[in-house]
Structure 1
């Protein structure tokens, strides 16, 4: 339960500036933390930090436990001697404002491979003990993940259910042979994970010293092509060939007339319940190592989920299936204590979802972009006067347009509703800051503002279009010059005035 007023900024680390085509966990990340501290912010909210695959979505990762190698700061590796000046010869001319994930997949993985080669040839022997300790501490997921990624590379990137039956079905003899044949690649994958966690833990400690906590995401479902699905196949609905029989999504809603066909495999909750939800307990335990607050994306799936027969062209033809959310969260609480969880309760929310959220005292979410739609908008639950203290208010999220873009593209009814409610007539230039003021002035104890709104950026800075795989999804980056000191001063003044930071 959220009891103290605070605020924060939503920014995925890939959107940080830097010289190598994507945000990294180095100097620019620390600079952003410093800026948050100067601005009086208590939290930095990020999206899932896992290794992304096809489509580049952080919500479709190769592992629910691993870190994204693209975020590893190469300058730090160079300063530590794990990369040499010669390794940077021929560095591509990267776009400062957009991530080219295809280029990252080739160039950055080559760079990380060189870092491992330098380590393997005896550079920095003092890291060996820490690396061995990391492998032992994280073996429960790391061993499966490293083997999975090595096998995936050996199969030209094919998904695990397209491998030969021996490795696809995890036959002991086939796995033993793969572990022997692919030993160097397996070790390289583990070392890259060691580098990620080493840098993330250092960054999180840096943030904690400055009074900034991290809010991170748990996507409720895992990717079809993931080590989680491959290594725990009996806990999902798969046929004998490893094809899903049903998949996840959401029915038609605000975002899409045909719903969203996510394609994630669905859990066999009955099987998970038999071992006391062991996999979920470990997943939460792993997230607590990364974050101070955990947002469960699509929380409503713990009450009931939209089951779509596989294959399908869209998400229209599905059904709601109950899930054992109470039993799961109770098992997690018994194992790990009271969890610092935010429930993403947007979309089609029914009384059972609200009951599950409230029974565990979890704060839900409110998005101000959704507050002013429709004719009789006065009953809208997202209007500021209807919000609750134990709630998290956002201007918008990564799935929304920026606030400036929203105002620019809003229909006249939405604009008129906003004018009537606020007794104001904002311009395209002033709307995003006015909505930020409304969010911080409102009752919820936690307010989160996307950085794009603080920078007053338009639709060109939108992070994601749900239900699409467009070329600009997940690619936006801000420029170092955008993070101005005067903006930090302005935000701090608002944060102090609204009682979200001590003066």
Structure 2
């Protein structure tokens, strides 16, 4: 039996929101997007990971599994909430020459400057109650924030995240040395704590606004973490590392149709035996934090809990890896004992075995069904909408796929009778529905309890607006929409299809922040 009610929503990362500061953030654009979801009958906002990114702006490569990304903090709300003086934004230039493409460099430069100014302003102006609130935040989050803030300060000090190259006393985490460095970098450590305080202030207010409007936030958790992260540095005993802190084996994907050498991800692998001895405490803490941030959680690369591709750390490709057994359901059982039921969707795409499906079914988690995958061959019924089980999450595509319009364009050259999809589509003039809306309707009308549509598909955009191309190192994650694109006509069309699919939400009840 599914733990989710029948509902639908939209996939959109925070950075894709409109904002005058280079990338989307937690400010007014986010609140207006919640309004759009409610007005169009949607009950779910699915996001990509919101951690602080390390490289290529990928939300799947972060230097903390617990912290928030400072670039998502809204300068406008810092002023509105009294964390910056009223005139602080007057000198900031709006460089959104291309508002449909994120400018991460510009955004980071602006926000680093403003966050530093906010920190000094706070220290100089905060009263006892404000200081007590900040201290209470640091105390509540001490279990991860202490290590993170020191790690972030050390990254700033040494100019890199390769903690194996730092002084040996830091690599081995000598307690006396950690104390000395924490004292030496005390101002920077406090600044990092303050930035997280601001992030969580803004995030919690947005989450409360979404909840008041009956919109659930659907987060995303990568199974692996980056080596250059506070997580690995502070918890070396639960990862496969040598005495110098370097990975002995790393994660990847075996050779397949798409790549003769496989994919070498490079993330350190977990020492599951060591985690078992702690009753999987690190994972339970990770789930605990996730469900403070989100209402629903997607676990990326769920198949790694059944078995994962283990590659020697010195390998140049993933060819010489091997399958290694994962921990199965044990980490989830441990988390359930501590946290109760886990509203999780398992990403079970790619090279999935029957054992992976069995594990997912034992745990009761919905899997994913992606319409685009259902028409790659005439007998590929697994991802065909009419065959979706109720306990599943259905998509037209994910952040890794072409947009639905881009996907349709790729198929245009196929002759009549060669494309099984043609039997599912009607002439747009006769049906009154463009092809991409017919496919969206297919997913919404499917038996799946959850149906999620990327905003690019709702807007009818081609692959110029694609979010990510797997294997492409640069040029991803940059797409943004403009507020003017969310027209009343679009809202009405989406709501009509949603009502017809029995997925309509309740009316909006909270007052928007405009």
| TM-score normalised according to structure 2 size | 0.93
CA-to-aligned-CA distance 1:97-118 (integer Å, 9 cap, x gap) = 2122233333311211111111
Does residue 487 (structure 1) correspond to residue 490 (structure 2)? The answer is yes
C-alpha contact 2:305 2:327 (8 A) present in aligned 1: yes
Match of 1:449 among 443, 446, 453: 453
For 1:369, the equivalent position in structure 2 comes to 372
SS at match of 1:296: strand
Does residue 144 (structure 1) correspond to residue 147 (structure 2)? The answer is yes
For 1:422, the equivalent position in structure 2 comes to 424
Following superposition of structure 1 onto structure 2, how do residues 403-482 of structure 1 map, counting pairs within 5 Å? 403-410=404-411, 412=414, 416-422=418-424, 424=426, 430-470=434-474, 472-482=475-485
SS at match of 1:412: coil
C-alpha contact 1:259 1:316 (8 A) present in aligned 2: yes
Match of 2:349 among 316, 331, 346: 346
CA-to-aligned-CA distance 1:455-484 (integer Å, 9 cap, x gap) = 0111111111112212x2111111111111
Q: Tell me the distance in 1 between the aligned counterparts of 2:104 and 2:254.
A: 30
Deviation at 1:159, TM superposition (A): 1.7
Q: Tell me the distance in 2 between the aligned counterparts of 1:343 and 1:223.
A: 21
CA-to-aligned-CA distance 1:327-355 (integer Å, 9 cap, x gap) = 11111111111110000000111111111
For 2:120, the equivalent position in structure 1 comes to 117
Q: Tell me the distance in 2 between the aligned counterparts of 1:135 and 1:398.
A: 34
Does residue 186 (structure 1) correspond to residue 189 (structure 2)? The answer is yes
CA-to-aligned-CA distance 1:210-263 (integer Å, 9 cap, x gap) = 110010011101111100000001111111222111111222346544332211
Deviation at 1:185, TM superposition (A): 0.5
For 2:512, the equivalent position in structure 1 comes to none
Change (3 A) 1:155 1:426: farther
SS at match of 2:152: helix
Match of 1:304 among 270, 291, 307: 307
Change (3 A) 1:393 1:37: same
User: What do you get for the CA RMSD once the two structures are aligned?
Assistant: 1.9
Q: Tell me the distance in 2 between the aligned counterparts of 1:100 and 1:255.
A: 31
Does residue 393 (structure 1) correspond to residue 397 (structure 2)? The answer is no
> How many residue pairs get matched?
499
SS at match of 2:419: helix
C-alpha contact 1:253 1:347 (8 A) present in aligned 2: no
State which drifts further: 90-99 or 23-32: 90-99
Change (3 A) 1:41 1:438: same
Q: Tell me the distance in 2 between the aligned counterparts of 1:96 and 1:124.
A: 39
For 2:75, the equivalent position in structure 1 comes to 74
Q: Which runs of 5+ in 2 are unaligned?
A: 507-514
Change (3 A) 1:424 1:229: same
Match of 1:93 among 86, 95, 113: 95
C-alpha contact 2:406 2:461 (8 A) present in aligned 1: yes
For 2:219, the equivalent position in structure 1 comes to 216
CA-to-aligned-CA distance 1:40-87 (integer Å, 9 cap, x gap) = 001000011111111211111110010111111100112233223245
SS at match of 2:45: strand
Deviation at 1:160, TM superposition (A): 1.2
Following superposition of structure 1 onto structure 2, how do residues 16-415 of structure 1 map, counting pairs within 5 Å? 16-84=17-85, 85-86=87-88, 88-91=90-93, 93-94=95-96, 95-123=98-126, 126-253=129-256, 256-374=259-377, 377-410=378-411, 412=414
Q: Tell me the distance in 1 between the aligned counterparts of 2:134 and 2:351.
A: 45
For 1:500, the equivalent position in structure 2 comes to 503
Q: Tell me the distance in 2 between the aligned counterparts of 1:469 and 1:414.
A: 36
SS at match of 1:113: helix
| TM-score normalised according to structure 1 size | 0.95
SS at match of 1:61: coil
Change (3 A) 1:414 1:483: farther
SS at match of 1:371: helix
Deviation at 1:400, TM superposition (A): 0.6
Deviation at 1:92, TM superposition (A): 5.3
Deviation at 1:409, TM superposition (A): 1.7
State which drifts further: 445-454 or 379-388: 379-388
Q: Tell me the distance in 1 between the aligned counterparts of 2:416 and 2:132.
A: 59
C-alpha contact 1:407 1:415 (8 A) present in aligned 2: no
State which drifts further: 97-106 or 9-18: 97-106
SS at match of 1:378: coil
Q: Tell me the distance in 1 between the aligned counterparts of 2:230 and 2:297.
A: 22
Deviation at 1:413, TM superposition (A): 7.5
